[in-house]
């Protein structure tokens, strides 16, 4: 037992004061790191948000303002719309589902002017049809544009305050270690044009394994739409109508290969229209498009699909406006899906897995008897001459002794819950040098406490990636 010599009262007081000053200085330091350091996320996909707000402020009207998530950013060609609707300027105010639909309403509401048409086009999924809000993503989007905080309602303050210390510390660490995110590929600020559309030569065809993303099935259950969502969008509609603007709801593009469930789009349409104070335009069945028109999610269109959906949206707008002019947008040819890259890797554990084959591509769906007994496994690049390209949900379930999984660069898609059911797992090693090479969902780490280890030189790319950023705090640098 320690027996330290007593200290004087003066020293005790000095110790208490010093500790108090140190504790008080921590918030001040964090505030400095967060607000005063140079912006670190300006080149990321989220770095586009402030430019969208600025364009909405400056664009001359009347305008057609398209509000939604990234399905709008990928799905609309604003220049084509303006050619067909020359009396309007088109503002693509679609950003990122993880920000939340209601955030985009909050940021745009005071900027709507008389004569504007606002079209709400959320993605057909539970998150975007609710009042969901992610403060971690919001802070990255606000970096370098903190005055936008003033446009957000007080209901977000508690969540933003709780997330700020992590944001500030991460921003400081990225700057100190020279890891300012400079994303490569589609998911960067450089992919947007002035109108807010995503324009990239990489979005040429469907690159999803099997043609769709199993992590985001599309349903038409009316229960997807929350009361909080309806309250907010109806209040927004009332507000913009009082400003002399018009509001409509339109269905986003939806991958037909991902549609599941018994509820149909017509029933969903009827229930939605009954709950909204403003019109729903267009036939939802027409927005359900073949998988060949999509790019990398069930809502992101490729360059050809963008033309198809823009044409559909223009025709729906003209129908409501009573515009009988022909829509002179030629339909493109549907591009063939991307094939699997031929890549040879470590296949020593190939017999430890069970597979499902579709169109010559394999998905890992389980563990063999040999795999169930292993403590470490490497997902192979091929098995029996066929490429392995995806990992299904519950693929490692039952691996009670499994501690480490290595995912090589041939894996382009990992389903939600893939790593559930293996309680000892603590390390998932991703070998792909760019997050764009492997698509994941928001349920990637469901049922596991494991951390994800990625190439150290790609750490900031993963932590700010469109798909991976939700798991940013559990993504760590791997040793060479």
Strand arrangement of the beta sheet that strand 404-407 belongs to: 376-379, 404-407, 427-430, 451-455, 475-478
Determine the average pLDDT of the residues in 26-31.
80
Does residue 29 fall inside a structural domain?
Answer: no
Does residue 206 fall inside a structural domain?
Answer: yes
Does residue 205 fall inside a structural domain?
Answer: yes
Residue 252 preceded by cis peptide, ω within 30 = no
Do residue 376 and residue 310 come from a single domain? no
Determine the average pLDDT of the residues in 315-326.
97
Determine the average pLDDT of the residues in 39-47.
95
Do residue 317 and residue 354 come from a single domain? no
- Residue 189: predicted pLDDT: 95
Q: How confident is the model at residue 19 (pLDDT cuts 50, 70, 90)?
A: low
Do residue 182 and residue 279 come from a single domain? yes
Instruction: Give the contacts of 144 (CB within 8 A, at least 6 positions apart).
Output: 39, 41, 42, 47, 50
Does residue 2 fall inside a structural domain?
Answer: no
Any idea what the CATH number is for the domain that residue 430 is in?
3.40.50.12480
pTM for the structure as a whole: 0.87
Do residue 55 and residue 156 come from a single domain? yes
Contact status, residue 419 vs residue 396, Cβ threshold 8 Å:
yes
pLDDT digits 0-9 by tens, 396-430: 999 999 999 999 999 999 999 999 999 999 999 99
- Residue 6: predicted pLDDT: 58
Does residue 8 fall inside a structural domain?
Answer: no
Do residue 80 and residue 209 come from a single domain? yes
Do residue 304 and residue 376 come from a single domain? no
Q: How confident is the model at residue 333 (pLDDT cuts 50, 70, 90)?
A: very high
Any idea what the CATH number is for the domain that residue 212 is in?
3.40.50.1110
Does residue 196 fall inside a structural domain?
Answer: yes
Do residue 297 and residue 376 come from a single domain? no
Number of domains in the chain: 2
Do residue 391 and residue 313 come from a single domain? no
Contact status, residue 82 vs residue 90, Cβ threshold 8 Å:
yes
- Residue 159: predicted pLDDT: 92
Do residue 302 and residue 401 come from a single domain? no
Do residue 440 and residue 367 come from a single domain? yes
Range of the domain at 466: 350-478
* Nearest CA among 55, 67, 229 for reference residue 133: 229
* Nearest CA among 134, 462, 468 for reference residue 142: 134
């Amino acid at each position: 037992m320690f027996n330290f010599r007593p200290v004087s009262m003066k020293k005790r007081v000095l110790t208490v004061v010093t500790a108090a000053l140190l504790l008080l200085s921590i918030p001040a330091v964090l505030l400095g790191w967060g607000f005063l350091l140079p912006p670190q996320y300006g080149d990321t996909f989220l770095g586009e948000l402030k430019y969208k707000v600025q364009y909405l402020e400056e664009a001359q009207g009347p305008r057609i303002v398209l509000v939604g998530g990234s399905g709008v950013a990928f799905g609309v060609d604003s220049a084509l719309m303006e050619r067909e609707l020359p009396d309007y300027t088109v503002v693509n105010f679609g950003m990122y589902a993880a920000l939340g639909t209601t955030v985009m309403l909050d940021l745009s509401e005071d900027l709507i002017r008389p004569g504007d048409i606002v079209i709400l086009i959320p993605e057909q999924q539970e998150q975007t049809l609710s009042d969901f809000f992610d403060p971690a993503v919001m802070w990255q989007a606000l970096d370098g544009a903190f005055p936008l905080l003033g446009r957000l309602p007080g209901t977000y303050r508690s969540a933003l305050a709780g997330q700020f210390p992590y944001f500030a510390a991460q921003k400081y660490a990225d700057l100190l270690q020279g890891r300012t995110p400079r994303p490569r590929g589609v998911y960067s600020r450089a992919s947007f044009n002035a109108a807010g559309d995503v324009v990239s030569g990489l979005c040429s065809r469907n690159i999803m394994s099997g043609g769709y993303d199993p992590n985001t099935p599309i349903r038409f259950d009316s229960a997807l739409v929350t009361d909080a969502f309806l309250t907010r969008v109806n209040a927004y509609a009332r507000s913009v109508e009082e400003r002399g603007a018009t509001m409509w709801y339109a269905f986003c593009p939806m991958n037909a290969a991902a549609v599941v469930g018994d509820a149909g789009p017509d029933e969903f349409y009827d229930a939605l229209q009954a709950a909204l104070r403003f019109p729903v335009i267009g036939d939802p069945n027409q927005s359900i498009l073949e998988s060949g028109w999509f790019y990398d999610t069930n809502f992101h269109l490729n360059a050809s699909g963008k033309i198809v959906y823009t044409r559909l949206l223009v025709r729906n707008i003209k129908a409501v406006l009573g515009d009988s002019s022909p829509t002179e947008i030629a339909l493109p040819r549907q591009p063939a899906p991307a094939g699997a890259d031929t890549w040879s890797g470590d296949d020593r554990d190939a017999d430890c897995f069970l597979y499902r084959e579709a169109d010559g591509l394999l998905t890992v769906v389980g563990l063999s008897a040999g795999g169930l007994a292993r403590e470490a496994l490497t997902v192979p690049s091929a098995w029996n001459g066929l490429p392995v390209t995806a990992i299904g949900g519950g693929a490692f379930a039952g691996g009670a002794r499994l501690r480490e999984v290595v995912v090589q660069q041939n894996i382009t898609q990992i389903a939600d819950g893939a790593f559930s059911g293996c309680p000892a797992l603590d390390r998932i090693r991703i070998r792909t040098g760019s997050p764009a090479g492997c698509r994941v969902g928001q349920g990637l780490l469901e049922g596991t406490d494991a951390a994800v280890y990625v190439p150290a030189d790609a750490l900031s790319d993963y932590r700010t990636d469109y798909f991976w950023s939700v798991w940013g705090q559990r993504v760590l640098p791997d040793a060479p």
